[in-house]
Amino acid sequence: MDARDGELKKELDATLQARRELGEEYESALIDSFLEKVDQRIDGAVERRVRRQIAEQQMTVARESKAPRATDSWGDRYGFAIVSLVLAVPLSAIGGSLGHLPGLLVTWLGIVGVNVAQAARTNPGLFTRRGGERDGDWEG
């Protein structure tokens, strides 16, 4: 257990003690206050992870001065998708709790946008017509 876990445990103990002293009429406010602190902690953890990932990506790009590969390996493509989905869980919780449905929608639009950008980067012809097709080539 690190120091932050100890602080959170102290906050929970203090919240429970305050509830005992103040009674049930303050329960909702006390719970909201504690959950806000938990949200802040989650926000900080997500922010640290995102910053770490960005720093790692920047270091990788700096080391590899060559252009990105046209096709990444299977692990690169699906690894990105898995990391995206893992980060989607706390980001959805944060977006939903702070912004309700609009916050959740913005969060998922961002997640989808990042994945579409990654797909376009790894597959340059993904969103363009292939094979010289032109309008009217289809007989229907």
Other C-beta atoms within 10 Å of 107: how many? Answer: 19
132 vs 58, higher pLDDT? 58
Which pLDDT belongs to residue 97? 87
Which pLDDT belongs to residue 53? 92
In contact, 91 and 103? CB cutoff 8 Å: no
The predicted-structure confidence for 3-60, as pLDDT tens digits, reads as follows 777 888 888 898 888 888 888 888 888 888 889 888 888 898 899 999 999 999 888 8
Which pLDDT belongs to residue 92? 86
Query: Confidence band (pLDDT; 50, 70, 90) for 80?
Result: confident
H helical segments located in 123-135: none
Which percentage of the chain shows pLDDT scores above 90? Answer: 10
Which pLDDT belongs to residue 69? 55
126-137 average pLDDT score = 58
In contact, 96 and 109? CB cutoff 8 Å: no
Q: Return mean pLDDT, the chain.
A: 80
Which pLDDT belongs to residue 81? 78
**Whole-angstrom distance, CA of residue 82 vs CA of residue 80:** 5
**Whole-angstrom distance, CA of residue 68 vs CA of residue 49:** 24
60-74 average pLDDT score = 64
Q: Can you give the pTM of this predicted structure?
A: 0.39
Please check the confidence at residue 133 and state whether its pLDDT lies above 70: no
82-90 average pLDDT score = 85
How far, CA to CA in Å, does 54 sit from each of 6, 57, 59, 80?
Answer: 29, 5, 9, 13
